[in-house]
Every structure is written in C-alpha cells, then in structure tokens.
Amino acid sequence: MKKASSSSINKNLRAGSPLVTLEIILLTAILTNTTAYAQIQNPLGLKITSHEQGQEVPVGELTISGTSTDNATSDCIVYADVNDIKPFQNATATGPGGANDYSNWTFTYTDNYQLITNGTNELTAKLSCVSSPTNLTKWSSVIVVG
C-alpha cells in the first residue's frame, strides 16, 4: 500500500478544493439548522390577559396586565401603547424572577401618557428581545370600548 505524501495531503486541503468546499457547505447547513431549531423550540409568546376583545372599560386611567415567554435571564422587555400613539411606554415586570422578569407584567394608562377615551381604544403590548443575529418581536392587541 502506497503512503500518501505530505504534498498530496496539502493539495487536498487547499482552499477551493472540492473537499474543503463540501466541508464548508455541511458546516453552514448544520449551523443554520441548529439556529432554526433553537428558534422553533423557544418561540416568543405575549398576551394581554386582563381584558377581552370588545370589553367595556371606564374612561380615564386603566391598568392592563399580561403574560409573556420572558424570564429573568432573557434579554427582553414589554412595552405598551394605545391607539398607535408613540412612543411605546415601558411596562412593569411583575414575574417571580424580579425586576427583569416579564413573564408577568402590568402597565397603567395615565394622563402622563394617554388616558382611555370614549369609543374604541386599541391596547397593544410589544415584547422585544435582543437576540443574535436579529432582534425578535411579538405583538398582542385587544380593542376595548371606553
């Protein structure tokens, strides 16, 4: 059996050789699949739980609450707005993990931002998570009647 010379091995390992190209393609496919699988396993979830679609609410101040898939160790935050009035406002984390745990959250509409008005009011919560390579966002809205 003939032993391969080091020069023939080096030729096969040069960039651009079919073997190196195949290895790069396989590695890229594995990394892409792993990232997609991780995102499927940890989908974002957000829901306003305090009010139902079409519910009548008092005009003026209103506190909403909800749940999300966030926890104390993930890099997420919940925001709220009403009737698409920007900017979004920070909700308060009330999850068992403390000040950064938005698994449970609340927000109060006050005259410092916007009060609930007569007629329809679209309440929106936004979960925003810092993630590589892109940030992830989930929305939840409910229309209430003031």
- CATH, residue 91: 2.60.40.650
What letter would DSSP give residue 56? B
Strands 46-48 and 89-90: unpaired
Q: Are residues 11 and 68 located together in one domain of the fold?
A: no
Domain ranges, residue 18 = 6-41
Supply the pLDDT for residue 69. Answer: 95
Q: Are residues 32 and 82 located together in one domain of the fold?
A: no
Q: Are residues 61 and 91 located together in one domain of the fold?
A: yes
Q: Are residues 25 and 84 located together in one domain of the fold?
A: no
Residue 30 placed within a domain: yes
- Distance, in Å, from the CA atom of 82 to the CA atom of 112, rounded to the nearest integer, reads 13
Supply the pLDDT for residue 133. Answer: 80
The pTM for the full model equals: 0.71
Q: Could you report the average pLDDT of every consecutive run of 10 residues in the chain (146 residues)?
A: 53 58 60 46 88 98 98 95 97 97 98 97 97 89 98
Q: Are residues 25 and 64 located together in one domain of the fold?
A: no
Positive or negative: CA dihedral 111, 114, 116, 119: positive
Residue 81 placed within a domain: yes
Supply the pLDDT for residue 21. Answer: 60
108 to 53, 61, 67: CA distances (angstroms): 18, 7, 15
